[in-house]
Amino acid sequence: MSSDDVSRRAFMRTAGGSVAVVGGTAAATGTAAGQEDGGGASAEPEWPSGVTSGNLGSYQDARGQDSVTVSVGAGENGLAFDPTQLWVDPGTTITFEWTGAGGAHNVQTVEGGGPASLDSGDPVGEEGYTYEYEVTEEDAGITHYHCVPHTAVGMHAGLAVGGDIPTVETGGGGASSAVFVPEGARALTIATFIAMVSTLGLAFVFMKYGGTVTQNEV
């Protein structure tokens, strides 16, 4: 076996090891970046089916806010609450405001629908009419409410109060498959790519033109 053959084999072993190392580094970087992103998942209240089947289906997390407004008579046909699903803290004042669309509405907790005693009285069709409800600790949990005249056509909504309620993870595994990669991880990935290209380039030159080292030197 010639010294050139030995030199080439030794160099290729070294080059192969280098490629494996930088490749592993890049893979680890990608994994760390994916873990840092967390998948974009978030928690929402676990609404009862009567709420999730309600018209419109909008959701608002208003925790930390002192007041929030819910439109009564929202949607294209004026037969929805907006937001349809609302999460607040105890002490928040909710103002239900009528849009004037969809006929006469009211706000009332479904029988056995939860702890909050929502009841705006008789149905009203006047635009700008309001009904205020101040949430208390006794309302903690999830309440299902509706518009009595339009309950059969899906005018339902939900109110979640406090933090001690069942939740479900949402948002993870959505339509977008993009992964956020921090600046440091991107820089490391670029550096490892350059190292891989350089190593393979040297290997090509060495294999094509031979080496100058002897077997003893190896």
- Report phi then psi at 73, rounded to 5: 100, 35
d(CA 191, CA 185) in angstroms, rounded, equals 10
**Neighbour tally for 153: CB within 10 Å:** 13
Terminal-residue alpha carbon distance, the chain: 14
Q: Based on C-alpha coordinates, what's the Rg of the chain?
A: 32
Order the strands of the 108-109 sheet from edge to edge: 59-61, 85-88, 156-161, 141-146, 108-109
Sorted by where each begins, the domain ranges of the chain are 3-39+177-209, 42-170
Residue type for position 168: V
In this prediction, residue 210 carries a pLDDT of 59
Helix (H), strand (E), coil (C) string for 119-130: ECCCCECCCCCE
- From start to end of 16-129, where are the E strands? 42-45, 59-61, 67-74, 80-82, 85-88, 93-98, 108-109
| Predicted confidence pLDDT, tens digits, the chain (218 residues) | 555 554 555 544 544 554 444 444 444 444 333 333 444 568 999 999 999 999 999 999 999 999 999 999 999 999 999 999 999 999 999 999 999 999 999 999 999 999 999 999 999 999 999 999 999 999 999 999 999 999 999 999 999 999 999 999 987 544 433 333 344 545 555 666 666 656 666 666 556 665 444 444 44
Phi, psi of 16 (to 5 degrees): -60, -40
CA–CA separation, 21 vs 13, rounded Å?
12
Q: Is the pTM of this model over 0.75?
A: no
pLDDT of residue 27: 43
Fold of 42-170: Immunoglobulin-like (2.60.40)
Q: Which amino acid is at 137?
A: E
Q: 22 exposed, middle or buried (CB, 10 Å; 0-12, 13-18, 19+)?
A: buried
Residue 84: predicted pLDDT: 98
Q: What's the confidence (pLDDT) of residue 21?
A: 42
